[in-house]
């Protein structure tokens, strides 16, 4: 699976020069409030409402904790995309192993 949301090296350098922090996404989960997505990273936790296109840094979501830095948003989207690709690849490997197991053990 290809990552279409990678930031260029120049944009990452610009993000870091402006005080941005490097992080990776460690987990995505849905909060039982109607679908807010919690995005756990190695730095902070972000939130995305299921009915908006915005990221927030504190729950509950409101205007005061809205992420407005475009470079931070792009970096976050890039990291989410990388996380999802790794999860997809991992599931694909498990599926292949399970299929082989079934082929060998089910007669």
pLDDT on residue 6: 78
- CB of 71 closer than 8 Å to CB of 18: yes
pLDDT on residue 106: 82
pLDDT tens over the chain, length 107 residues: 666 677 888 999 999 999 999 999 999 999 999 899 999 999 999 999 988 789 999 999 999 999 999 999 999 999 999 999 999 988 888 888 888 888 898 85
């Amino acid at each position: 699976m290809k990552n279409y949301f990678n930031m260029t090296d120049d944009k990452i350098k610009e993000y870091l020069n402006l005080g941005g922090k490097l992080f990776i996404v460690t987990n995505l989960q849905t909060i039982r409030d109607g679908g807010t997505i919690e995005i756990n990273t190695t730095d902070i936790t972000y939130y995305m409402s299921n009915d908006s296109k915005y990221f927030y840094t504190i729950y509950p979501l409101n205007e005061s904790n809205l992420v407005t830095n475009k470079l931070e948003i792009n970096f976050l989207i890039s990291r989410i995309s990388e996380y999802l690709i790794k999860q997809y690849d991992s599931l694909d490997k498990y599926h292949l192993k399970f299929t082989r197991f079934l082929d060998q053990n089910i007669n």
